[in-house]
Structure 1
């Protein structure tokens, strides 16, 4: 499975888990239909496990927004991207940002990609310093 597809499926899985009583395994079964992929697994489990720390870091870059007010899809995309930027570091920041922007264009509304780009640009600038 290509990384873009793994990110897309990880987004769908994490989106399903938030606000439901569904376990990671149940959501993964539903999305992956028995297929496995190590990058997908790492994204889902890593983002979910580190969500509190990721949220704290994200809050510092949200201007005039709270994390709870963000649309669920944008919040999930940002969490995944921050997980990759901070914990994985196996892809360049620009690649991770571009992937997040593409996901927001596909799954968000007209303004999602600009918003995700703005937040992640600030976040990526902080990491570079």
Structure 2
């Protein structure tokens, strides 16, 4: 399979957790804590990869901003009308586009499209690609501004 790497699996797990958290009306952070507790007694639950936790923590901290960016790039759609899995994929990729300095934006968009192919409707890959293509144009400016302003921890100190 083309995308069987550790990061791809971590992203897929993040989408699963975001989807589940929204369906249950709980914080995705609580699901990570729950999984980490459960895996101690039941290895079949599977460990939560560090990258999955990093992404979920970042998305959870920036939900309003991420949703505002995604919503502003939807044409003839609203965020609540999207399939829940597409919302999760778009949130994940948007966070990565703005915060994953070690990953090229094209790779992030490609990964999101692959996740849409695996997990969503037949129309979703093209839709996800279109939305993220426009958001990706903002990524260099957002990344540069964040780096110029220091880390989140630096700004809070």
Fold match (TM-score > 0.5): yes
Note the alpha carbon deviations across 1:7-54, whole angstroms, 9 max, x for none: 011110111001424443553317982514211110111112211110
Larger Rg: 2
DSSP-derived class of the 1:50 partner: helix
Structure 2 Cα separation of the partners of residues 26 and 128 of structure 1:
32
* 1:33 corresponds to which of 32, 41, 45: 45
Q: Which residue of 2 aligns with 1:6?
A: 10
Total equivalences in the alignment: 129
Residues 1:27 and 1:111: Cα distance change in structure 2 (over 3 Å): same
- Which stretch of the first structure deviates more once superposed, 13-22 or 29-38? 29-38
Unaligned runs of 5+ in 2: 142-157
1:95 aligned residue: 107
Quickly say closer, same or farther: Cα 1:83–1:25, change in 2 above 3 A. Answer: closer
Kindly tell me: are residues 4 and 52 of structure 1, through their superposed partners in 2, closer, same or farther at Cα, counting changes over 3 Å?
same
| Matching of residue 84 in structure 1 with residue 96 in structure 2 | yes
Aligned equivalents of 1:75 and 1:96: distance in 2?
15
Distance 1:117 1:92 in 2: 15
Which residue among 108, 119, 125 is the counterpart of 1:113? Answer: 125
Unaligned runs of 5+ in 1: none
Q: CA RMSD in A?
A: 2.1
